[in-house]
Amino acid sequence: MNELFSAPLPGPVQKEEILKILPEAKEIGKLPPEFCGVECDSRKVAKGSLFFAIPGFKQDGRQYVPDAIKKGATGVVTVNFGLESEVGWLVVPEIRTALARVSHLAYHHPADKLLLFGVTGTNGKSTVAFLMRDILKEAGLKPAVLGTIAYEFAGVSIPAWNTTPESLDLARFFYNVSQRGGKAASMEVSSHALALGRVEEILFDVAVFTNLTRDHLDFHKTMEAYREEKLKLFTRHLKPSGKAVLNLDVPEFEFFSKLTKGKVFTYSAEHPTADLFAAHYRFTTEGTEIDFVFEGKKFSLKAQLVGPFNLQNLLAAAAAGLAHGFSVDTVRSALEKSPPVPGRVEQVKMGQPFVVVVDYAHTPDGIEQILKLARFFKPKRVLVVFGCGGDRDKGKRPLMAQAAEKYADLIFLTSDNPRTEPPEQIIQETLFGFADRSKVRKIVDRKEALFAMVEEAKEGDFLVSCGKGHETYQQIGEKKFPFDDREVFREALKKRGYADGGN
């Protein structure tokens, strides 16, 4: 674990204080008067720690209680009691809520010391989080950022293991940020994090909603349940004085605007009545030019981000900054400097006479948006490589196929992260979504599929790889193997004789 997520407690946490914030807890046996550590991973337990035994989706933390005790845990928190031991127990009804409360208590509520911007939605979260980080940086606040791509602060960048880390990790991260002079943070807040209590005890100053399309139904089961979890950011986790920054161009606007606790600030590319309106815009393969209208005045910017969905992302980030009270000059300067986000419409350039783009699109809407962008530039052909993730919502597989078929001229259907599912089975289930399979090439090996697409490419084509984006691995079974679409593209382009202007 990196230094940003490692921190000794600033002082012992008292049992009496823990019981005050967990009034529903039942003490069994005798707990010590104080603890010098809090852990939910038995491998990290030190002498005097309070160990949270969390029943997970893949592993049950309760089976590691004996290991934690051997390593020096002097107390255990769990949802039920089933093991006689020499240490005391706390039995709680909601273990993840208890972990969050105790973690933030133990680290003296570090999130309260920071200006917090959070963003939720199906698509656009990573880009918006990085753009908001850049606005906070331009405002001189030495911010951190957390999201799907990485966790970053003060020049340190760690590849992310979850879009939103566990509550204990967040408490440690924010503690380190505040101790090292950080004043703010921008973060993606996933529906999983909201459902699993990872952001309990955290209140945001600004909460942003991007959009809602099908994803994660393997977990949430219904779109209604998915939407309800997203809503929590604007009810349970927004300060009373906070700003709810909402997209006026999506169907969910009315739902969120009626139920949010914060003051609503709207952004739009379609409705001039929005608080922030994109009156005019122009897209090129090098960026986006926008004329904004805010408080009756127009201001323009030239951003490095490409495409209509990045227009929405730029609007969302700009709206967040303006809603909080940052100046137009601060927001504009930050967004004009912001580089493209890794793995989001990221171009691979080696002097080839066709466009090559890597994107994280892994939902039906995501694939539709990136391929519509390709069509926007009127290429001779649009070629796409995509696959569907294993152990995830199977219902979206044929829908992803339909989106690809609608906008692409040639489709290379391959593997994404198959995880524990057979890749051939995933591909077969995806094939059901195609009405016409004549333009579909099935290549199970992703590297072979990317090479085949590059080999097929002709001058004026637009090539897109979907699903992997910034990822530098491919998960097959339980193991992650090194794999980066960008590097594979460079290999394939080099094989065809291109080597100039590499990026």
Query: Bridge partners of 263?
Result: 243
Percentage of the chain beyond pLDDT 90 is 84
Rounded CA separation 107/84 (Å): 30
Query: Bridge partners of 75?
Result: 50, 88
pLDDT per position as a tens digit, 403-423: 999 999 999 999 999 999 999
Residue 308 has pLDDT above 60, yes or no: yes
Tokens of 148: 């799907």
Tokens of 317: 């980030």
Task: Given CATH 3.40.1190.10, say whether it is the number of domain 110-337.
Answer: yes
Rounded CA separation 237/365 (Å): 27
Kindly give the pairing relationship between strand 276-284 and strand 263-268: parallel
Same fold, 110-337 and 346-495: no
- Contact of 399 with 215, CB cutoff 8 Å: no
- Contact of 21 with 201, CB cutoff 8 Å: no
**Can you give 330-361 as a three-state secondary structure string?**
HHHHHHHHCCCCCCCCEECCCCCCCEEEEECC
Q: Find the DSSP H helices in 162-215.
A: 167-179, 191-195
CB neighbourhood size of 58 (10 A): 5
pLDDT per position as a tens digit, 324-337: 999 999 999 999 99
Mean pLDDT to the nearest integer, 88-116: 96
Rounded CA separation 380/184 (Å): 46
With CA atoms as reference, report the closest residue to 295 among 275, 265, 318, 272: 275
| Domain ranges, ordered by start, for the chain | 3-106, 110-337, 346-495
Rounded CA separation 100/240 (Å): 21
Residue 228 has pLDDT above 90, yes or no: no
Residue 220 has pLDDT above 70, yes or no: no
Q: How far is CA 98 from CA 18, 79, 199, 350, in A?
A: 9, 10, 12, 52
pLDDT per position as a tens digit, 353-369: 999 999 999 999 899 99
Q: What DSSP line would sit under 252-290, residue for residue?
A: THHHHHHH-SSEEEEEESS-TTSSEEEEEEEEETTEEEE
- Contact of 187 with 116, CB cutoff 8 Å: yes
SS3 of residue 228 by DSSP: helix
Tokens of 252: 């969910």
pLDDT per position as a tens digit, 262-298: 999 999 999 999 999 999 999 988 899 999 999 999 9
Q: How far is CA 475 from CA 82, 350, 379, in A?
A: 35, 28, 33
Rounded CA separation 43/418 (Å): 29
- Contact of 199 with 170, CB cutoff 8 Å: yes
- Contact of 187 with 174, CB cutoff 8 Å: no
- Contact of 396 with 389, CB cutoff 8 Å: no
Kindly give the pairing relationship between strand 37-39 and strand 473-476: unpaired
pLDDT at 214: 62
pLDDT per position as a tens digit, 248-272: 999 999 999 999 999 999 999 999 9
Q: In this structure, what are the phi and psi dihedrals at residue 111, rounded to the nearest 5 degrees?
A: -65, -30
Mean pLDDT to the nearest integer, 59-87: 88
Q: How far is CA 451 from CA 69, 270, 484, in A?
A: 52, 40, 13
Residue 224 pLDDT class (50, 70, 90 cuts): confident
Query: Bridge partners of 193?
Result: none
Residue 207 has pLDDT above 90, yes or no: yes
- Contact of 413 with 427, CB cutoff 8 Å: yes
- Contact of 307 with 284, CB cutoff 8 Å: no
Tokens of 320: 């967040």
Residue with tokens 């807890």: 25
- Contact of 337 with 134, CB cutoff 8 Å: yes
pLDDT at 500: 64
Rounded to the nearest 10 degrees, the angle between the axes of helix 308-324 and helix 328-337 is 140
Residue 448 has pLDDT above 90, yes or no: yes
Residue 487 has pLDDT above 70, yes or no: yes
Residue with tokens 């674990």: 1
pLDDT at 193: 87
CATH number for 346-495: choose from 1.10.357.10, 1.20.120.550, 3.90.190.20, 3.40.1190.20: 3.90.190.20
Q: Which fold has domain 3-106?
A: 3.40.1390
Q: What DSSP line would sit under 93-124, residue for residue?
A: S-HHHHHHHHHHHHTT-GGGGSEEEEEESSSS
DSSP 469: T
Rounded CA separation 330/196 (Å): 35
- Radius of gyration over every alpha carbon of the chain, rounded to an integer in angstroms: 24
For residues 270 and 220, the model is more confident at 270
Rounded CA separation 63/229 (Å): 30
Rounded CA separation 157/168 (Å): 19
Rounded CA separation 130/146 (Å): 9
Residue with tokens 């460079």: 490
pLDDT at 216: 64
pLDDT at 122: 85
pLDDT at 219: 63
